[in-house]
Amino acid sequence: MIKIGMAYYPEHWDSSLWEEDAARMAKLGVHVVRLAEFAWSRMEPQEGRFDFGWLDDAIGVIARHGMRVILCTPTNSAPVWLYTQHPETVQWGRNGRPTDIGIRGHRCIQSPVFRRYAERITGEMAKRYAGRPEIYAWQLDNELESNHCTCPSCRAAFRRWLEEKYGTVEALNRAWGNEVWSGEFTDWEQIQPLLAPDCLPDWHNPAFMLDYERFGAWCTADFVRSQRAVIRSVDPDAVVTTNSCFCANLPDFHQEFAQLDVAAYDNYPPMDLPEDPETLYSNGFALDFIRGFKGKNFWILEQLGGAGGCWSPMGVTPEPGMIEGYALQAVAHGADLVSFFRWRSSCSGAEQLGHGVLDHDNRDNRRLKEIENFCRRLEKLPDLDKTDIHSDVAILYGADQEFALKNQRQSRNFAYWKQLKLFQDACMGLGVNVDVAAQDAPLEGYRVVVVPTHYVTDPDLTARLESFAAAGGTVVLTNRSGVKDEHNNCIFGEPLPTVFRKLCGCRVEEYDAVGEKRVHIARDNGDSFAVTGWCDVLEPEGAQVWARYTEKFYAGSAAVTRNPFGAGCAYYVGTVGERALYRALMGQILRERGVPLVDGLPAGVEVTTRTGEGGSYRFIFNNTLQEKSFVLEGETVLLRPMEMKIRTGEGEWV
């Protein structure tokens, strides 16, 4: 069955509470308890002196109550003695100076000295606990970001990485186009991975910035590789993962999780829902994105348990139904384990006001009751873990696109992520499963492949998309595709969308970075949509016009086209529209491809389906604070705010 988990910090509480806490968690329905992620100073209070007695006792208490443990390596928060004795382990900021220690995450994951100590504490834990029946899985570190440290170790590592990639400084200069602004290097030592605080990213050479981001992502994946190797050297069968999040310095998640057994995510959906109907707030996108890390079901290692209050002023209290509804939303999108954060709100430290399931008064509350309801509902679906998500639609994501576009902004109202979310939102609102997959993922088995803003081109993808369309598939490409080569330099001598021009059957005659201004496009059937951010003025070269601009100097020009290609076709969306545009466009595309839809879903109602050996289950989620009513297959469905209803393949409601 679907596993229920809970984050617990026994080192924060008197041991007299452990038995009571374990009993309450077991009664609730918890299967696994997540331990030790920040407890390095308790496990190694002095260099080389290890103390696992308290952890042995905590694991023993949990096991006696029939639960197992997800054991975390504590390397995110090194003990103070390590930083003071070995200051070279401290992370340096973008300003080229050591970070002040005092909160978590201030270690340099590329420091050879830090690596030695991190591998030692992980090895000691593995020798003591690996292979024991109480251990369900291992979590590495915590919410790893891409490495942007600028310490001497990282500077040297960056140069080594570049030298291995390019071979000579002259080859690097050619690839980066360093003749601009007299930026040519004559020695590897001249290369500094710095970003001065008074200099914006888009002032730097885009080719340099892309390689720096790639290097940072490689560092993170390399650290994961080293940690995993320590555990696997002791227990080859250990299940190993780490918990991802959307952070300031995103790593390449696909590279990071390629060497791990299961993808995992820390899931904190919004509690203060926006009033603007155009705002994309659903965490359904994030969940589909996480599933794409491994192309299979995933885990939630931190699930919303209460109001936030650590990194900003205290957030709003979760509305009734949110705790249960959001947990079920995760399951609906493929979570096979949902672990809530945290059992009890902390009484000390920076996260005192970051609420867990229980408040500081330690009493049962409404949030706990919702989790109990969640557990009881899943108990009625014991075979749900034998199902997964089967999708006819894939949205391709590329880390290079994220890296390049965040450092070279296209317009004031243009965002790579927004376009990904708009397509996913349209599919979810039509009751269609969608995968957010890596851009090198296999395309076989899909009917529709959407590639938003493929800015840094991958020649291999061009050929794969042409083959997919020729064989009968539908490809959807969007504005700012085909702009750059693999080094993040503009492609010369070919109209946009350059490498995709043949597939799309159109060229970009000119473009307008309209920013926050609103323009409109219209179809021949009278439908009109507001667009913003970017406008490609398209000249069809065999493609049919799906919609035209109605304003500005390019009124009457094509904005969206459809090009027959072999047995399939390719759409090109030259602008960024409101949500209704994507629902209309994807509705037509999905009907053309024979994908079953759920018509008439109200705004904010999401439908996903899990199928497999364990049966078929349709999840219908009202992700709004208003009551919703609609007709599904002849039956009226009424949903309270934040309510999830589950319908089995036999037509029963759970």
Strand order in the sheet with 615-622: 387-388, 605-612, 615-622, 644-648
Determine the pLDDT at residue 130: 94
Half-sphere exposure of 313 (CA within 13 A, CB side): 1
Q: ∠422-325-397 over CA atoms, to 5°?
A: 30
Three-state secondary structure along 515-543?
EEEEEEEECCCCCEEEEEEEEEEEEECCC
Beta bridge partners of 645: 620
* DSSP string for 631-653: EETTEEEEE-TT-EEEEETTS-B
Taking alpha carbons only, the member of 557, 512, 549, 554 closest to residue 529 is: 549
Q: How far is 587 from 426, CA to CA, in rounded Å? A: 8
pTM, two decimals, is 0.97
**What is the structure's pLDDT at 197?**
57
pLDDT < 50 stretches in the chain: none
Query: 511 and 530 in contact (C-beta within 8 Å)?
Result: no
Contact (CB, 8 A) for 331 and 384: yes
Locate CATH 3.40.50.880 in the chain: 393-592
pLDDT computed for residue 503 by the predictor? 98
Q: In 72-195, which ranges are continuous DSSP H helix?
A: 80-85, 112-129, 152-166, 169-176
Which residues on adjacent β-strands are paired with residue 438? 397
At residue 501, the pLDDT reads 98
The tens digit of pLDDT for each residue in 23-46 reads 999 999 999 999 999 999 999 999
Helix ranges restricted to H, 235-283: 253-257
Over the Cα atoms of the chain, what is R_g? 26
Q: What are phi and psi of 162, to 5 degrees?
A: -65, -40
Token pair 């990213």 is at which residue? 201
What phi and psi values does residue 79 have, to the nearest 5 degrees?
-70, 155
- Per-residue model confidence (pLDDT) at position 199: 62
φ and ψ at residue 357, rounded to 5 degrees = -70, -45
3-state secondary structure of 303: strand
CATH of the structural domain 393-592, one choice from 3.40.50.880, 3.40.640.10, 3.40.190.10, 2.60.120.1440: 3.40.50.880
H or E segment at 507?
A: strand 506-522
**Catalytic pick among 37, 213, 256, 302:** 302
Per DSSP, the three-state class of 40 is helix
Q: What are phi and psi of 490, to 5 degrees?
A: -65, 140
Owner of token pair 């969308």: 497
Pairing of strands 474-478, 635-639: unpaired
C-alpha distances in angstroms, 392 versus 126, 421, 468, 587?
41, 17, 13, 13
The alpha carbon dihedral of 26, 60, 6, 366 has a sign of positive
Contact assessment for residue 323 and residue 369, using Cβ atoms and an 8 Å cutoff? no
Count helices and strands (H / E) in the chain.
17, 24
C-alpha span between 600 and 95 (Å, rounded) = 53
Which one from 37, 44, 143, 256 is the annotated catalytic residue? 143
Per-residue pLDDT at 470? 98
143 an active-site residue?
Answer: yes
Q: Distance (Å, rounded) from C-alpha 396 to C-alpha 443? A: 10
Q: What is the pLDDT of residue 195?
A: 62
- Dihedral angle computed from the Cα positions of residues 317, 318, 323 and 326, in that order, rounded to the nearest 10 degrees: -140
Its CATH class, for the domain covering 3-146+220-381, is: alpha beta
Alpha helices in 295-365 (DSSP H): 322-332
